[in-house]
Structure 1
């Protein structure tokens, strides 16, 4: 059983389905409202746990009703929450999502996620020291991302940096990551490149090895040599939400089997996740994943 530590955000997604987007000042009747557990950190922790890993999560929730629900949901998945802080004077992170006309509008309020600190990362050193892989994203303060990269590197642990939402980062930080896992758009932003630059060229000039996701096309990966393509898996798409988080989680879970195998399994897990509704709702469990993958040949 792989040991995976995830450092990242925990959100409650507030989803409204509507026939169209409301104009400024307009009140519009919606069709449906859902509260869905989310946040990239929580999503990746859940996906890793369902794929059979021993998972610990480092993050923060507020001392509110959402915080209680989010904490309970993560505990139900068997995730260690010893380093998930409960912030007394703050609400939990939320994403207000309106879905209409095949598009979505999203407003994220980080709230407790903005309280994740380098000191909190340092306090989790004993947990990080036991990890086979560490996952971190960028929905928490950048100083906490940096602290995770530095501590993981110091401990000799492979840190997978999922640079989303993307922004340029110091080259020094990127060199501390064992792998970067952007899509093409995120890689360009991360390296302050122009939108016309070829992603294969960007992969080769990245200061850290890149595993680049390409949706239905699969992924490209490079770890010292020329970029290698892993084809995607064909499946009927119901909801692509959470596919990237499932990919990252699977990459961390199976990394000990070697990068080519881990990337293939990450593409497979991401494909399987889009066959069901919802980010966490579509994340496969290990027995389901193994059965499905065996049928792919």
Structure 2
């Protein structure tokens, strides 16, 4: 039986440090507490979010040959994510992300790719997972060649391709071959303007949609904006909450959106569900620990209604 959502992406050990302020260049600050260690990485976070949103989910990725790998695989399995297509890379450490979080929840993150950078193509298990999934969900934290190959395979089998184009590609990177395979693109305002070369977020979304795909621009506390293939625009407001830690909020949004889409919800309703998941995620520390369940999202939407 295939997955509702197959996620190809990164898996990192998140080392989270609470600080009074994110240090400026040359500045040293003292942490407010000992560091916390959680499973993370955009791919892993989004896979867990998808599974908690009720979708049968599989993960395609790589971990290292170290104790962190056991923690990452445990987090995936505990959430109900299939890990048959995860490669354990000998002689390499798992990816790590060093996260500093200030009191208002804003963060700064440094990622060390580790095993995530060791891809050499899709394994047989990865190809099977991609071909059998209803939705392929990808980001840009792993080898772009692997993402492109997965997207091409998904389209070949008639699957929907959802790309979260994050982190923003470096200047001069040509994403056109990948974007040509994408059915639903999710970006924040910075990523939208960087990809489209247009300063205004809404104008960038329309340019990126171009009648070929639907585009969602996440707006943080202002919710999200959808431009579909016809050019129609739908704005979805965010639920007002007090943010504790914004780490993983975008991944909660994207994973929930993928799950809702795979389970047949119309895109505007799936987007509303994704916004609710993002709002819940900022109310706890750490990415995976704060990713909400479908029950929690339903409860929040019910209170909002």
TM more than 0.5: yes
Deviation at 1:7, TM superposition (A): 0.4
The one of 110, 114, 135 equivalent to 1:107 is: 110
Deviation at 1:23, TM superposition (A): 8.0
Aligned to 2:50: 48
The one of 220, 243, 247 equivalent to 1:237 is: 243
Q: 69-78 vs 125-134, which deviates more? A: 125-134
Q: Does 1:249 align with 2:255?
A: yes
Deviation at 1:30, TM superposition (A): 6.5
Aligned to 2:298: 290
Q: Does 1:219 align with 2:224?
A: yes
Q: Distance in 2 between matches of 1:220 and 1:22?
A: 32
The one of 180, 184, 190 equivalent to 1:179 is: 184
3-state DSSP of counterpart to 2:166: coil
Deviation at 1:277, TM superposition (A): 2.1
Whether the 8 Å contact between 2:166 and 2:187 is mirrored in structure 1 is yes
Aligned to 1:93: 95
Q: Does 1:157 align with 2:159?
A: yes
Q: Distance in 2 between matches of 1:181 and 1:150?
A: 18
Q: 21-30 vs 277-286, which deviates more? A: 21-30
For residues 167-225 of structure 1, give each alpha carbon's deviation from its aligned partner in whole angstroms, at most 9, with x where no partner exists: 1433232121011100110012223x15xx22222112215321111111111111122
In structure 2, relative to structure 1, the CA distance for the partners of 1:188 and 1:154 (3 Å cut) is: same
* Long gaps (5+) in structure 1: none
In structure 2, relative to structure 1, the CA distance for the partners of 1:171 and 1:67 (3 Å cut) is: same
Q: 26-35 vs 204-213, which deviates more? A: 26-35
In structure 2, relative to structure 1, the CA distance for the partners of 1:228 and 1:72 (3 Å cut) is: same
3-state DSSP of counterpart to 2:246: coil
TM-score, structure 2 normalization? 0.88
Q: Does 1:269 align with 2:273?
A: no
Q: Distance in 2 between matches of 1:27 and 1:273?
A: 26
Q: Distance in 1 between matches of 2:27 and 2:239?
A: 45
* Long gaps (5+) in structure 2: none
Q: Distance in 2 between matches of 1:253 and 1:105?
A: 28
Q: Does 1:140 align with 2:148?
A: no
Q: 26-35 vs 73-82, which deviates more? A: 26-35
For residues 95-147 of structure 1, give each alpha carbon's deviation from its aligned partner in whole angstroms, at most 9, with x where no partner exists: 12344586655331101001233333x64232223222111001101111211
Whether the 8 Å contact between 1:135 and 1:160 is mirrored in structure 2 is yes
Deviation at 1:252, TM superposition (A): 0.7
Whether the 8 Å contact between 2:99 and 2:107 is mirrored in structure 1 is yes
Q: Distance in 2 between matches of 1:286 and 1:244?
A: 16
Q: Distance in 2 between matches of 1:107 and 1:48?
A: 25
Q: Distance in 2 between matches of 1:110 and 1:264?
A: 32
TM-score, structure 1 normalization? 0.90
The one of 158, 165, 168 equivalent to 1:166 is: 168
Structure 1 vs Structure 2 CA RMSD = 2.4
Q: Distance in 1 between matches of 2:249 and 2:96?
A: 20
In structure 2, relative to structure 1, the CA distance for the partners of 1:204 and 1:44 (3 Å cut) is: same
Aligned to 1:79: 81
Q: Distance in 2 between matches of 1:257 and 1:263?
A: 9
Deviation at 1:265, TM superposition (A): 0.9
Q: Distance in 2 between matches of 1:205 and 1:19?
A: 40
How many matched pairs?
293
In structure 2, relative to structure 1, the CA distance for the partners of 1:210 and 1:114 (3 Å cut) is: same
